[in-house]
Amino acid sequence: MTRDEYFQSLPKSSEGLFQNLRTFVLGLITNGQEVMKYGIPTIVVSKKNIVHYAAYSGHVALYPGSQAIAAFQKELSAYKCSKGTIQFPLNQELPFDLIQRIVQYNVTHLL
């Protein structure tokens, strides 16, 4: 699936929140390139995956990886998380400060 096809297939319920997440993350990683990996948008710097993000009908997700999830475990307790994924409900504001710190953590630890 291409990036354009992915964006055209976004669930209407999460499209706005997803675009807010995407714009914010792209603004944080100015030297990154947005590519499709694992069927979802991914920011890559120097061939390293920094973060993935996706939209679903009930939430938007950030995929920073298991190391970042572990590092921010206490602050992420309000969100549904798995080993490498954070789910943000559609009825809540995105925690931009926390997202920024997670992305910066990945930039520091993955590059």
The 3-class SS string of 6-57 reads HHHCCCCCCHHHHHHHHHHHHHHCCCCEEEEECCEEEEEECCEEEEEEEECC
- Per-residue pLDDT averaged across 79-104, rounded? 97
Whether the per-residue pLDDT at 111 is higher than 90: the answer is no
Q: What is the pLDDT of residues 11-69, one digit of tens each?
A: 999 999 999 999 999 999 989 999 999 999 999 999 999 999 999 999 999 999 999 99
pLDDT at 1: 84
Span 75-82, mean pLDDT?
A: 96
CA distance 52 to 95: 16
Rounded-to-5 percentages of helix, strand, coil across the chain:
35, 25, 35
* Reported pTM: 0.94
Count of alpha carbons within 13 Å of 71, Cβ hemisphere only?
15
Expressed as residue numbers, the domain containing 67 is 3-110
Is-contact 29 50, C-beta < 8 A?
yes
Structural domain total, the chain: 1
CATH of the domain at 68: 3.90.1150.200
